[in-house]
Amino acid sequence: MSTSFEARLQAIIGGKTKPVGSLGRIEALAMQIAKLQETDQPDTSSCGLTLFAGDHGMALAGVSAYPQSVTRQMLLNFLSGGAAANVFADVLGVSMQVVDAGVAGEPVNHPELLSRRIRGGTNDAIEGPAMTPDEFDRALAAGRLLGEQADDPVVAFGDMGIGNTAASSLVTAKLTGADVGDLTGRGTGLDDEGLKRKRSLLQRAAARTETHLTARDALREYAGFEMVMIAGAMLGAARARRLVLVDGFICSAAALAALGIDPDIKDALVFAHRSAESGHAPLLAALNGDPLLDLGLRLGEGTGALLVWPLVKAAGAFLTDMASFDSAGVSGPA
């Protein structure tokens, strides 16, 4: 990115019919999009959500308030249009596709389901690696290809997988050196006793590997297939100069790992919201991420990323459609 192009963008933004800086973070967002696409006429015409579903072996140990079978049930709910992600995507005009990354049980047969299934769930990461090196490579490559080949200039990724807040706490701990207990929240709504059990199980899982792991090793040891595919999709989308709307705790953990694999994708990432999940604030601090919204969300599914889409669309339109002082015949600042 040349300094002359950046200076021209600043001049265009500063010349719009408004006091300098009066649109705050919308101006910064417009600048980010334009720099990513390398044009002063950025394309924010459409957004697509890809929702990845996968199961976690450690869910059977009791790290969630919900049984593992809910992943499959919610997969069917997404396909029938009944989940929050479906409702938000529909009202906001966002296209949505659902991916089976590795849901437990027999493969789901549905004409609108995209199967990138590695196998029916990961191993129990409390006792050993969640996946083999080959499974990790296949999941990352599948996600990367989906990100590269997306139809939209702006993309969001969502997650579904009982146990994935536990996995995200472990991945974050291994990438930041933080104590996993400090990153462990209630997830799907554990009571005090359930939270205590979850922390104990995750501390046991964390103890079986070194304090710090590489991004690839952290994902392979502790993540779900859906999380690895999200990390891969972020890598692929960013390299294709698509803007990536990063959802909550699970997607932020995937983003941290993706940045560990390729730090150059940072300029493509927009952090959508600050989740109510207790591990998300320290994770955002590690990412140096300043989210646009703080609504007390902790659902996942890409719902927070979807809610940011209107802001992104407005930022693009601000740059491309808003009049300048010269074109509107309006007097600028004295």
**3-state helix/strand/coil string of the chain:** CCHHHHHHHHHHHHCECCCCCCCHHHHHHHHHHHHHHCCCCCCCCCEEEEEEEECCHHHHHCCCCCCCHHHHHHHHHHHHCCCHHHHHHHHHCCEEEEEEEECCCCCCCCCCEEECCCCCCCCCCCCCCCCCHHHHHHHHHHHHHHHHCCCCCEEEEEEECCCHHHHHHHHHHHHHCCCHHHHCCCCCCCCHHHHHHHHHHHHHHHHCCCCCCCHHHHHHHHCCHHHHHHHHHHHHHHHCCCEEEECCHHHHHHHHHHHHHCHHHHHHEEECECCCCCCHHHHHHHHCCCCCECCCCCCCCCHHHHHHHHHHHHHHHHHHHCCEHHHHCCCCCC
pLDDT at 185: 86
Residues of the chain with pLDDT under 50: none
pLDDT for residue 333? 77
Share of the chain above pLDDT 90, in %: 94
Quick one: pLDDT at residue 166? 95
pLDDT at position 1 = 62
Domain presence at residue 231: yes
Do 103 and 71 meet the contact criterion of CB atoms below 8 Å apart?
yes
- Calpha distance 149→267 (Å, rounded): 19
333 domain residue, yes or no: no
- Give yes or no: residues 29 and 60 share one domain: no
* 235 and 130 co-located in one domain: yes
Same domain, yes or no: 280 and 257: yes
Pick from 6, 11, 22, 32: nearest CA to 290: 32
- Tally of domains within the chain: 2
* Structural domain contains residue 237: yes
Residue 334 lies in a domain: no
- Amino acid (1-letter code) at residue 212: H
| Statement to judge: residues 235 and 107 lie in one domain | yes
Burial class of residue 263, CB neighbours in 10 A (0-12, 13-18, 19+):
exposed
- Residues 232-282: tens digit of each pLDDT: 999 999 999 999 999 999 999 999 999 999 999 999 999 999 999 999 999
Q: What is the pLDDT of residue 2?
A: 75
241 and 210 belong to one structural domain: yes
Co-location of 163 and 261 in the same domain: yes
Q: Is residue 131 part of a domain?
A: yes
CA–CA dist 136, 253 (Å, integer): 16
- How many Å separate Cα 19 from the centre of its chain? 34
* 79/94 Cα distance (integer angstroms): 15
Q: Are residues 77 and 163 in the same domain?
A: yes
Q: What is the CATH number of the domain that holds 83?
A: 3.40.50.10210
**Integer Cα distance of 226 and 244 in angstroms:** 17
Give catalytic residues, as residue numbers: 301
Extract long-range pairs of 114-117: CB within 8 Å, 24+ residues apart.
Answer: 116/142, 116/143, 116/146, 116/229
Any domain includes 230: yes
Q: pTM of the full predicted structure? A: 0.96
116-157 pLDDT, tens digit per residue, is 999 999 999 999 999 999 999 999 999 999 999 999 999 999
Domain region containing 38 = 3-43+318-328
Would you say residue 180 lies in a domain? yes
- Shared domain for 34 and 68, answered yes or no, is no
Q: Do 19 and 150 fall into the same domain?
A: no
Q: 67 and 22, same structural domain?
A: no
Is 220 part of a structural domain of the chain?
A: yes
Q: Are residues 230 and 262 located together in one domain of the fold?
A: yes
CB atoms within 10 A of CB 31: 18
Question: CATH number for the domain including 35?
Answer: 1.10.1610.10
Closest CA to 146 of 58, 65, 242, 19: 242
Which value, to the nearest 10 degrees, does the dihedral of the CA atoms of residues 272, 225, 260, 40 take?
Answer: -40
Residues 230 and 283 in one domain: yes
Query: Cα–Cα distance between 283 and 83 in angstroms, integer?
Result: 27
